[in-house]
Amino acid sequence: QVQLKESGGGLVQAGGSLRLSCSASERTFSNYAIAWFRHAPGKEQEFVAVISASGFSPFVATSLKDRFTISRDNGKKTVYLQMNSLRIEDSAPYFCAAGLGTTKASEYENWGQGIQVTVSS
Whole-number Å distance between alpha carbons of 72 and 85: 21
What is the pLDDT, as a whole number, of residue 25?
87
| Residue 39 confidence (pLDDT) | 96
What pLDDT is attached to residue 66? 98
Phi, psi for residue 35 in degrees, rounded to 5: -120, 155
Query: Taking the mean position of all CA atoms in its chain, how far away is CA 86?
Result: 14
Report CA dihedral (11, 60, 6, 16) to the nearest 10 degrees.
Answer: -20
Mean pLDDT by 10 residues, the chain (121 residues): 96 98 93 97 95 94 98 97 97 97 94 98 94
- Nearest Cα residue to 37 out of 119, 92, 100: 92
